[in-house]
Structure formats: C-alpha cells, structure tokens
C-alpha cells in the first residue's frame, strides 16, 4: 500500500484519512474534496492516475489542513508517530509539512516499528526535515530540484533559503560535484531523482541516468510539475516497478504529459496531470 | 537559569536565534511567541553571535517569516534574527528567465512567473513549506500590484524567498518587462 502524507492549504481540516481518487479535475480524499493545485494535492492526483493505469490499489492518504502556521503539520507528525506501525504501509511518501527535525525523527522511529520497514520517500519540506535532522540515510528516495540539490550539498544548511552563496551558482555542469558533496556528508537517500532541465537519477552517489528530452523549459515555471514526478514514482513502485525503473518512467511520463498538454508558463498543473494517461499509453 | 532549562527531548526544532539588546526584551518576546503557539526557548547565544545581552530566544528558523511579523505587530524590539548554523543571511541571488510574454523570477528555491504585459501572476513553483500551496492559491491569476506581499501572509523561509522573487517581479513589471 502506498501511503502519502502531507498538508493541504485549508484552515477547515484537521486530519483526513482514506483512499484517494482523482476524477480528472478534483481530488477526493476519504469524503473530502480538494482542489488539484500545486503541492501534495498534485502529487496525490498524479499517483492516482498511475495507479488507475496499472489497475493497482488507489493510494491511501493522510492529510492535515495547514496554511503555514504549522499546527496541522504537528497534528500530522503526531498521527504518524502513533499510527504508522498499525497502518504498516509498503511505501511511505512524505511531502509538504513544516520541517521539525525532532518530530521527523519520531516518524522514522515509528516506521522502524512497522512489521516490514516501508520504502521511505520524501520530497519538499519532508525532505528538508530529513536532511536537516541527519536522517537522509534512512530514506530510500529523495526527489529534489536543482536548488534543493544545492541544499543537500550544503553540510550546514537546514533549509534551502540558507544555503551558501557559492553553492547557488550551480550550473548543470557542476551537478556531479553537488552530488558527490551531498553523498560524502550522508545527505542523500539511496536513490535521488534530481528534477530539472536535465533530470538525473542518482543511486548510491553515482549518476545512473539522465533525461533532457522533450526539452520543455516552461515546465519549471508550472507549480506542481515536480510534485507530479514524486507522486508517480511512488505509484510506479506500488505497481511493482524497481526504484530505478519507477524514477525513469515518472520522468519520461512527466515530460511527455507536458508535451501533450502543450504546456506554456501559464498552464496549470491539473492540465499536465490530465495528460498523464496519454503519456503513459505512449511511455 | 533560563538557559539551562532542559530541552524537551526530541520535539524542539530550533535552528534560529532572535538576539536582543536587553534581557527584558528577550523575556517579553518569549512570552509573546509562546502565547501565539510558537515553540521557543530562552538560550545563551554562542559568543560569536552575541549582540547586546547574553540571552536570546531560540525558535524554528523555518518559521522566520511568522516570528518576524508577530514581533513587529506586538512592537517587540530585537537586534537581529539569524540561523544558528550555516549562511548568516538569506540567499539573495535572483535569476530571471524570459518565455515570450512571460517572465520567471527565481529566488533560492522559489519561482514566480508573471505576464510581462499585464502583470498577472501565471504560476508559482518550487518550495516545500506548507504555506506555499496557500500562497499559490491566494496569488494565482491576480495582478502583482493587487496582492499582498508573501512575507505578510506566509510563515516560513519559503515564503520569504517567494517574497524576494515577488519584489524582483514587481521591479521588472514596473520597468516594462526589463530587468
């Protein structure tokens, strides 16, 4: 079972649990309807599309409403710390959540108590918390963009806003240096998928795959197009693919979906997600 | 001694310090922040960071935008707010990419894209803190000149980086699409 956990930008929700469904426009989690916008909603929607394509079980979700003050995030950390061993997911994908290092550590400890340790995935601020807390080595998959890769390479940084200036000059030619630095200081998950103009799959500190076609620079502007990759990777793994194959299939599907959607900088992520089925049929 | 109070094991995030000129200011700020739900504690700042008094408030640095705003609203004075480790200042490098009629301004991990002709915000991407999806919904498809600044609505470091991108975008729009 793929379990996706993250916050939703609403003040009227506490904890929402249940099966996720995406109808092509809206995301339904349990009995709650959620707009398919940038963030965890986009990630879950993309995962739903992949699950449907492979006739796999729909993702299970645990959401908390949080518009930024962190109260929902703390509820979510607490819920996971208490309930993960009972839920016992095959894959735990953590996403938008206020980074609180001590609470992330508790979630990892709870994951260790599962009957079988889940595949551990983190993106967005869940990844920030895991790295800052020194827990990166307990994760199987991180999915940073290039600026987040710079954050992973900075031994001191506890958030991408505070990385050293010299690291924020990274051009694509230097990504191997960032990967080496992050790997040596144990800030990398076992598999890291770096999303960017050139996508990189990194395994145990080595670049094992790159992708730069179709070339769609406008995807970088569209909020949520990194979230969709992370969600699809989780869903591909749940459908039985290896971590490496899941990463490649997600990267390819995301670019093809952007192409089929005729993406422009004004395109909304739900339009990209709506094109994923077409991309999967030709992937 | 305040700064010998034992840390609540495994919960407190920390990572940021508010420095003060006087002990009274530090204690008053701690009370205000705690009253509004922030997890903070009084600590002795490292000697190299000490500014006025030898008492500081430690907080989760990720929540910098919200802490700054609350102290300002409550008229609580402080000398400086900075991370305990790493770079002492927020990343200030701004990069600009043009796509025909659209312009993408990138500050750190945050990107804001707007229509150069109308100033309408087309997309917000990057980031990972929980106020970003909220700011995304609040700002999308509205004019740059008609929305609140991200730092006035957000709570986190991602919101502060989005604010830098927003300010850069405003300047470019005011300059008719040219940086």
DSSP B103: E
Q: What is the DSSP string of chain A?
A: -EEEEEEES-SS-SEEEEEEEE-SSEEEETTEEEE--TTHHHHHHHHHHHHHHTTPPPPEEEEEE-SSSSHHHHHHHHHHHHHHHHH--SEEEE-S----HHHHHHHHHHHHTSSSPPEEEE-HHHHHHHHHTT-GGG-SEE--BHHHHHHHH-SS-SSGGG--GGGGG--GGGHHHHHHHHHHTT---SEEEEBSSSEEEEETTEEEEEE--S--GGGGGSTTHHHHHHHHHHHHHHTT--HHHHHHHHHHHHHHHHHHTT--TT--HHHHHHTHHHHHHT-
CB nearest to A162's CB, from B83, B99, B134: B83
d(CA B114, CA A221): 10
Q: Which residues contact A135 (CB under 8 A, 6 or more apart)?
A: A104, A105, A108, A129
Which segments of B99-156 does DSSP mark as H helices, in order?
Answer: 131-139, 150-153
Contact A218 B154 (CB under 8 A): no
Q: Which residues contact B128 (CB under 8 A, 6 or more apart)?
A: A95, A96, A123, A124, A125, A126, A127, A128, A148, A160, B109, B158
What is the model's pTM?
A: 0.91
Contact B133 A217 (CB under 8 A): no
Contact B86 A162 (CB under 8 A): yes
> What residue has token string 């299970």?
A60
The whole-angstrom distance between A158's CA and the closest CA on chain B is 8
Tell me if B59 sits within 8 A of B68, measured CB to CB.
Answer: no
Q: Are strands A191-194 and B102-107 parallel, antiparallel or unpaired?
A: unpaired
Q: Can you give the pLDDT at residue A169?
A: 59
Q: Which of A100, A64, A67 is nearest to A79 (CA)?
A: A64
CATH architecture of A2-281: 3-Layer(aba) Sandwich (3.40)
**pLDDT profile of chain B (179 residues), mean per 10:** 40 83 90 93 80 85 94 93 77 89 95 97 96 97 97 94 96 85
Interface A-B, measured as beta-carbon pairs within 8 A, has a size of 198
d(CA B93, CA A151): 14
The whole-angstrom distance between A65's CA and the closest CA on chain B is 9
CB nearest to B87's CB, from A73, A102, A163: A163
Contact A217 B122 (CB under 8 A): no
d(CA A219, CA B52): 48
Q: Can you give the pLDDT at residue B7?
A: 41
B2-83 fold: Alpha-Beta Plaits (3.30.70)
Q: Can you give the pLDDT at residue A214?
A: 97
Q: Can you give the pLDDT at residue B9?
A: 45
d(CA A103, CA A107): 6
> What residue has token string 């002990």?
B23
Contact A265 B99 (CB under 8 A): yes
Q: Can you give the pLDDT at residue A105?
A: 95
Contact B131 A161 (CB under 8 A): no
Cis amide linkage into residue A214, ω under 30° from 0: yes
Backbone conformation region of residue A55, classed left if phi is above 0, alpha if psi is from -120 to 50, else beta: left
Q: Which residues of A touch B115 (CB under 8 A)?
A: 266
Q: What are phi and psi of A18, to 5 degrees?
A: 140, -170
The whole-angstrom distance between B108's CA and the closest CA on chain A is 6
Hey, where are the domains in chain B?
2-83, 94-174
Cα-atom radius of gyration of chain B, to the nearest Å?
Answer: 18
Q: Which residues of B touch A8 (CB under 8 A)?
A: 133
State which residues of chain A have pLDDT below 50.
172
Q: Can you give the pLDDT at residue B63?
A: 94
d(CA A268, CA B125): 11
CB nearest to A223's CB, from B102, B109, B124: B124
Question: Residues B98, B99, B101, B105: is their CA dihedral positive or negative?
Answer: negative
| Beta strand ranges found along B86-154 (DSSP E) | 94-99, 102-107, 110-115, 121-126
Per-residue pLDDT tens over the stretch B116-166: 999 999 999 999 999 999 999 999 999 999 999 999 999 999 999 999 999
Contact A222 B123 (CB under 8 A): yes
Q: Which of A173, A99, A129, A171 is nearest to B93 (CA)?
A: A171
The whole-angstrom distance between B15's CA and the closest CA on chain A is 8
Q: Which residues of B touch A38 (CB under 8 A)?
A: 124-125, 132-133, 136
């Amino acid at each position: 079972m793929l379990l996706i956990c993250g916050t939703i930008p609403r003040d009227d929700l506490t904890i929402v649990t249940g099966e996720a469904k995406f109808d092509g426009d809206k995301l339904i989690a349990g009995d709650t309807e959620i707009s398919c916008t940038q963030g965890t909603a986009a990630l879950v929607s993309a995962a739903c599309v992949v699950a449907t394509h492979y006739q796999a079980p729909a993702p299970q979700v645990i959401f908390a409403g949080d518009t930024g003050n962190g109260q929902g995030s703390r509820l979510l950390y607490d819920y996971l710390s208490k309930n993960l061993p009972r839920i016992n997911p095959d894959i735990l994908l953590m996403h938008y959540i206020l980074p609180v290092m001590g609470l992330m550590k508790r979630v990892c400890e709870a994951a260790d108590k599962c009957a079988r340790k889940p595949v551990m995935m983190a993106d967005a601020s869940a990844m920030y918390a895991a790295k800052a807390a020194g827990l990166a080595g307990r994760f199987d998959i991180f999915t940073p963009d290039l600026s987040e890769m710079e954050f992973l390479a900075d031994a001191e940084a506890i958030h991408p806003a505070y990385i050293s200036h010299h690291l924020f000059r990274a051009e694509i030619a230097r990504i191997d240096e960032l990967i080496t630095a992050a790997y040596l200081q144990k800030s990398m998950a076992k598999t890291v998928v770096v999303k960017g103009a050139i996508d990189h799959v990194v395994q145990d500190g080595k670049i094992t795959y790159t992708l730069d076609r179709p070339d769609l620079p406008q995807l970088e502007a569209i909020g949520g197009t990194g979230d969709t990759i992370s969600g699809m990777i989780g869903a591909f793994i749940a459908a039985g693919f290896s971590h490496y194959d899941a990463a490649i299939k997600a990267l390819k599907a995301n670019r093809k979906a952007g192409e089929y959607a005729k993406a422009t900088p004004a395109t909304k992520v739900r339009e990209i997600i709506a094109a994923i089925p077409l991309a999967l049929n030709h992937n | 001694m305040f700064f010998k109070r034992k840390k609540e094991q495994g919960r407190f995030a920390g990572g940021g310090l508010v420095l003060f000129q006087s002990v009274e200011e530090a204690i008053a700020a701690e009370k205000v922040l705690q009253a509004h739900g922030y997890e903070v504690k009084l600590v002795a700042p490292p000697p190299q960071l000490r500014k006025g008094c030898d008492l500081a408030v430690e907080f989760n640095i990720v929540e910098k935008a919200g802490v700054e705003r609350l102290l300002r609203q409550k008229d609580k004075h402080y000398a400086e707010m900075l991370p305990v480790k790493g770079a002492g200042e927020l990343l200030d490098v701004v990069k600009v990419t043009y796509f025909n009629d659209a312009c993408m301004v990138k500050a750190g991990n945050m990107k804001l894209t707007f229509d150069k002709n109308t100033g309408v915000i087309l997309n917000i991407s990057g980031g990972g803190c929980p106020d970003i999806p909220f700011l995304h919904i609040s700002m999308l498809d509205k004019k740059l000149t008609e929305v609140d600044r991200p730092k006035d609505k957000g709570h986190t470091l991602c919101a502060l980086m989005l604010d830098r991108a927003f300010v850069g975008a405003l300047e470019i729009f005011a300059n008719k699409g040219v940086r």
